[in-house]
Structure 1
Amino acid sequence: MNIQWELKKFADLSPHELYQLLRLRSEVFVVEQNCVFLDMDNKDQQCWHLLGWKGNLLAASTRLVPPGLSYEEMSIGRVVSSPQVRGEGIGRELMKESVKACHQLFGHHPIRIGAQLYLEKFYTLLGFNTDGEVYLEDGIEHVEMLMPA
């Protein structure tokens, strides 16, 4: 898969990039997962955004959250891949690039995520360990996971 990765602060996103980012998140989190929630939570402006482009298609994205904003540790959130590229290994590549970018931005420290429960095994294979009980967030079962430094 030929993906062009870009890492940008919120303020550096072009209007086109921001539109594509919010559209992809709405397509997956709201429409596909049938979850009514407020995606725009006023954290995006303080985060970095990893965008994976396949030509003109925003194929995947994550939000890289600095320590102290969502958790004590740095975090990777809003992990999303386009339905058009699923099954091609984009999720694994996205997370590997996100972990690498977090370490470059915030240092080599633990990374905490709030994972949808059905993806627990996927994140475990990437080096995350379950760290807490299952909880509901917007009607979807989640579990906190931690990748050690």
Structure 2
Amino acid sequence: MSYSISVIDNHEACYALRHQVFVGEQGVPVEEEWDELDPVAAHLLATDNDVPVGTARVVYQDEFAKIGRVCVLKSARGTGLGADLIRAAVQLAKDKPGITKAKLGAQLHALGFYEKLGFSVYGPIYLDAGIEHRDMVLAL
């Protein structure tokens, strides 16, 4: 797999990936998948030979960069793409003046994945779209 990751202005491919993974695979209600932060977020799109295979978004709030809506198609899982998407999102955060921390809400099964990338767990378990999550943070 030879993929590239870039920040994009047209979010349709990102929305299609999120729909396939979150709504289709994980059963997230479509009305919970899209929100008011989508228009103001920076959207990352990973492609393999121009075919969309993964996405993430970054929303800036005070000193935080909130990384979210991270997904990778089944065909690209296990390739390191997810980690590269997180690294790209963290780099965006580092490049933004005034941002000192990256945070995210991780599904419980993914805690170890994010810990390997330097994130630390904080706070209680909570439900987001009916799926158990924990918040995580990374000092930049």
TM-score by length of 2: 0.91
Of Structure 1 and Structure 2, the greater strand share is in 2
**1:56 offset after TM fit, Å?**
2.4
The equivalent of 1:52 in structure 2 is: 46
The equivalent of 2:57 in structure 1 is: 63
Unaligned runs of 5+ in 2: none
Percent identity at matched positions?
32
The equivalent of 2:6 in structure 1 is: 6
**1:105 offset after TM fit, Å?**
2.7
Q: Tell me which of 36, 48, 55 is aligned to 1:42.
A: 36
The equivalent of 1:138 in structure 2 is: 129
The equivalent of 1:84 in structure 2 is: 75
Contact 2:14/2:43, CA 8 A, preserved across alignment: no
For the aligned residue pairs, the C-alpha RMSD in angstroms reads 1.6
The equivalent of 2:104 in structure 1 is: 113
**1:127 offset after TM fit, Å?**
0.4
Distance 2:125 2:30 in 1: 19
- Deviations along 1:113-145, whole A, 9 cap, x unmatched? 111111011101100000101011111000000
Distance 1:42 1:31 in 2: 21
Task: Report the AA paired with residue 7 of structure 1.
Answer: V
Query: Runs of at least 4 residues of structure 1 off by over 6 A?
Result: none
Seen in structure 2, the aligned counterparts of structure 1 residues 118 and 106 have a Cα distance that, compared at 3 Å, is farther
- When structure 1 is superposed on structure 2, of 131-140 and 100-109 the one drifting more is 100-109
The equivalent of 1:19 in structure 2 is: 12
SS in 2 for 1:133: strand
Seen in structure 2, the aligned counterparts of structure 1 residues 119 and 108 have a Cα distance that, compared at 3 Å, is same
Distance 2:12 2:88 in 1: 22
